Each structure stands twice: as structure tokens, then as C-alpha cells.
Amino acid sequence: MGEPERISTRQLAVLLLFVTIGDMLLVLPPHVAELVKQDAWIAHLLGVAAGLGIAWLLLKFALALGSEGLVERNRRTLGTWAGGAVSAVYMLYFLLNSSLMMRETSDFLTTVLFPETPLRAIHGLAALAFVVGIRYGLQSIARAGELFLPVFGILYAILLLLLLPQVQPGKLQPMLAADAVSMLEGIYISAIYPFCELCVFIMVIPLVVRRKHMKRDYLLAVAVGGLSSFAVMLMSILVLGGVMTAHYLYPAYILAGKINVGHFIERLESLIAVNLILLTFMKTVLFGYGFAMVLAQMFRLDDYRPLAFPTGMLVFGLAYFMWPNVVEYNDGLFRYWGDLDVLVGILLPLALLGLYKWRSPAKGGKASEGKRSTAPRRAEELPGNDGS
Amino acid sequence: MWKSLLVIAVSALVARLELPELRRRRDKSAAVYVGLLVVGTAAGITAVQQMELPGPLHALAFLFKPLHEWLGQIVG
């Protein structure tokens, strides 16, 4: 890598906040509410608690990689092919997630704000900003995040505060009515989707300037992000009720429409839409960065930034044929995305952490010892890859 | 037709601007760039032509469907 980029712990926290909330305000409430109706907030709260565990695992994994980064470390530990396969899984995941975010944003926009605008036009504009973001690098993405944070905070606070008059506590009743299986599934969904996607930070954390409080700040930022999306979930149950939250495609947007302060402040939907676009955009760019970074490291390039334009082109195309329409995504493909999240967010990090642990004692007397043990390890890693 | 040509033209223009600098580098930047750009342009063309292709998530669904059916049988 040319001159190494560095970001501060504060910038890391901001990015974490954006990724944790990300598109979750859009997609999570209807899916959880569909399973457990008015108990969705309980499922979400427990999901955040479980998600902190996932976030902690990912942090541990990222720190175990050291300054080498994911690709180098895997190449050294697993050999060229098995290590390359693991890196390729992450690369594809970052690419797909980036396109998915872009498509979710444009689906949202075409559904509620611009029904006449073709998807491709929105994708084109988004891809333009995306290319610029990656072109300038992680440092600039992080700075943009810092810049956007107050905007996000104010809009978010407006949404929650102005909704307070509409709150009907009765909507929470009957509490704990959902059966155990649906409840577990609700917890699973709200733990997996937001928190496994934090795995993009294994590409970011090696670049963070180390501070004493990094671990604490990391978990704090993740917790704040999780609780922020929890608050919107709770609000949509309190204002719309469990059944209506499950019914609407984008409850957060409908929620903004409910704001009405003395018939004077009303119809704030577009403000909230701006907020949602901002959140998903930050996530799109960060995942695009992850993709370009893994690709550059796999081919040992000096710099990932020149790859910005081809990446943008690819994401522009992929975002279009991700799924034919939003209904197919919500009803069918959404759950399979969670499996991939589990694979890259829990199973692979666990397996790799175990491998590193196993490998490191042999470090003292390596040479022939190390060479002999690479072959069985390869054989073991590959079935773990497609079997999970 | 003209839409595909537009995508190709945009790609070619950007490559014309960016490639000379990459080719001076000693690593494989230029090769990776061209490879990714070709794939990207193909994807871009399918998008602007609104071709109906099975998306990448359908492959995912195909891979994970047996797992879900199996889990569904266990949970009931």
C-alpha cells in the first residue's frame, strides 16, 4: 500500500453507528413485526443484546488479524488457494451487500417518493457519489460520516420527539403474546442482519490509530446504533401498532407521515427519507470500499482507489438485477441473505479464529513443522466454506 | 442499442483517462482495472437494457434452500 491511510477512533465510532443503523430502519421493523406483532420491540431489544456478542466476536477477529489485514493473514495461514477462497467469499459478500444497499435505497425511493423515475436513473446518481467516495478513500468516507452525523442526529431526534404526542401505550398490549419459536426467529433476525454486517470493519480496524479505549468505544458505538434502530422500532409499534408495522413496506416512512403538531408541523416524510438515504449511502460506500480493498490486497496492488470506477460500474449493474421487484426481495430472498450474513459474520470468523489459535503455538519451531501442517488445514477449511 | 453504446462509451472514456497512469505502475493495477471494468460494463449493459436475469440472490436461495427446509422440519 502506498501511504497508509489512518482514521481515528472517533471516526471509527461514527462509521460503526452508520453501519449498525444503516438500512435497518427500512427493512427490519416489518420483518420482525410480521413474526411477533406488538412484541417486536422485545425481540429487537434482545436481538441488540445478542448482536453485541456478534460485534465483540468481529472485533476480536479483526484485532487477531493484526496489521496484516484479512487477505495477507489468510494467505499466510491457509496458503494461497484456501486463503484466497476465504478472501473471495468476503469480497463477493462486500460487493453483493453494496449492491443490495443501493437497490434497497432505490426501491424505497421509487416506492414512496419518485414512482415515475426509473431505477437506473437513481442507481446512476448513487453510483456517481459512490465512485467519488471510494476514489477519495476511507479517510474521506470517515470524514463525510463525521460531517453527516449531526444532520442524522437532528433529523432522527426530530422524528422521535415530534412523534411523542402520537404515542399510544395501549398498542403494546397484549405483551408477550407471541409463541416461543416466532420470538426466537424475531430475535435471530434482529441480531443477524444489523450486526453480522459489521464484518466490513475487519477491513477498517487495521487502519484505525490504536487507542486505549478502542474496544470500549467500539462496543459503545455499536450499542448506541442498535438502540437507535430499536427506538424507531418501539416508536412504530407505539404509534402504528404491531399489525400495521408488519403491513407497511416502510414503517419508518409512514411513521414520519404521522407527525402532526397542531396542524402546523406535518408531512415531514421527505426529511426522514433524506435521513434514510444518508444512512444507506454511508453503508453502500463503506461496503464498496471493503470490496475494492479486498480485491486490491488479493492482487497485491499498491492502492485500492483507482478501482473506484469499475467497482461503481459493477455495483450499478448488479443493483439493477439483484431482484426483479421489491416484493420478491421482501417475501423470498430476504431470509437467504441472513444465511450469508451468518456465514461471514459468525461462522467464518469463528473458524478462522480457531485456526489462528491453533497455528500460533507452532510459530516458535516453524520451518518444516509449519510446512507439514498446511496440507490438512487446507482440506479442513474448504468443506467449512461451502458446508455452512 | 444506444444505451449500451453509451455505457461502453462512458467506460472507454474513463479508462482512457485513468489507464495510462495505472500502466506506469509496476503492480497488476492495470490488469485488474481492465478485468473489473469489462465485468462492470457487462453488468451495466444488462442493467440499462433491463434484461431479465436471475439475480445473485437467487443463487444464494438455491444454495441455502435445503438448509431452510431441513430447519423447518426440525422446528416444525
Q: How distant is the Cα of B74 from the closest Cα of chain A, in angstroms?
A: 11
**What's the predicted TM-score (pTM) here?**
0.88
pLDDT 10s digits, A12-62? 999 999 999 988 888 888 888 888 888 889 999 999 999 999 999 999 999
CB-based contacts of A162: which residues, under 8 Å, 6+ apart? Answer: A259, A261, A265, A268
Cα of A321 to nearest chain B Cα, Å: 5
How many angstroms separate the CA atoms of A248 and A107, rounded? 14
Give the separation between CA A96 and CA A102, rounded to whole angstroms.
10
- Which residues of A are less than 8 Å from B73 in CB distance? none
Residue of B nearest to A100 (CA): B57
Rounded to a whole number of angstroms, the CA Rg of chain B reads 20
pLDDT in tens, A156-213: 998 889 889 889 888 888 888 888 888 998 999 889 998 999 999 998 988 888 888 8
A89 at interface of B, judged by CB pairs closer than 8 A: no
Residues in chain B within 8 Å Cβ distance of A309 = 14, 18, 37
Whether the per-residue pLDDT at A1 is higher than 70: the answer is: no
- Give DSSP secondary structure letters for A295-333: HHHHTT-S-SGGGHHHHHHHHHHHHHTS-SSHHHIIIII
Give B28 to chain A, closest Cα distance, Å. 6
Q: Which residue of B has its CA nearest to A131?
A: B14
Q: What residues of chain B lie within 8 A of the CB of A311, using their CB? A: 36, 40
Asked if the C-beta of A27 comes within 8 angstroms of chain B's C-beta atoms, the answer is no
Looking only at the bridges linking them, the beta strands covering A260-261 and A265-266 are: antiparallel
Q: Is the pLDDT of residue A270 over 60?
A: yes
Nearby residues of B66 by Cβ (< 8 Å), 6 or more positions away:
none
d(CA B41, CA A318): 11
pLDDT of residue A316: 92
Euclidean distance between CA atoms A204 and A197, whole angstroms: 13
Its ipTM equals 0.90
